[in-house]
Amino acid sequence: MNDILAAADHPVVIEGHKYVGVKLRITNNGPDRAGPYIDLGRHIVGTSKGAYYEHYMDTAGYPGDEYLAEVYRLEPGESGEGWLYYQVPGDFTPTGMVFEDYRIDPDDPPETLIFIPTID
């Protein structure tokens, strides 16, 4: 758990669950301005109870400093960083993030899987 999450006034943890924080650095490679929190769909993937597990709802109860929602718009070529937090089962091991770019096709956005390193 990082210092931001530890200091957050986050919601109550569901029994048997934990928070996983993912820090992202996102670069706008497109020709137009983009909002990484608004224009990208995202979910965390990994394993729980020995099976593949997807979790779609990011939450922290702390939408302040360093939270991805604070990176409002990126100009072409510009990068921004921010955290997302997911409340997941206690045995969850994250393996990646899946992103969907709704600017390309809002009805059927292309997906990109990014593998993430894990630390305890």
CATH number at residue 59: 2.60.40
10 pLDDT more than 50: yes
With a cut of 70, say whether residue 86 has pLDDT above it: yes
98: in domain: yes
Average pLDDT over residues 12-24: 82
Is the residue at 23 inside a domain?
yes
- Mean per-residue pLDDT, 68-90: 90
Domain span at residue 17 reads 3-115
Per the domain annotation, does 60 fall within a domain?
A: yes
Task: Please indicate, yes or no, if residue 54 is contained in any of the structural domains.
Answer: yes
pLDDT-wise least confident of 8-17, 33-42, 70-79? 8-17
In a domain, 106, yes or no: yes
Q: Looking at the domain assignment, is residue 120 inside a domain?
A: no
Domain count, the chain: 1
Say if 41 falls within a structural domain. Answer: yes
Residue 1 confidence class, pLDDT cut points 50, 70, 90: very low
Instruction: Measure the CA–CA gap between 105 and 62, rounded to whole angstroms.
Output: 30
In a domain, 105, yes or no: yes
50: left (phi over 0), alpha (psi -120 to 50) or beta: left
Give the per-residue pLDDT at 3: 55
Determine the average pLDDT of the residues in 12-41. 87
Model confidence over 34-72: pLDDT tens digits?
Answer: 998 888 888 999 999 999 999 887 664 545 568 888 888
Share of the chain above pLDDT 90, in %: 43
pTM, whole model, 2 decimals? 0.75
The answer, yes or no, to whether residue 94 has pLDDT greater than 60, is yes
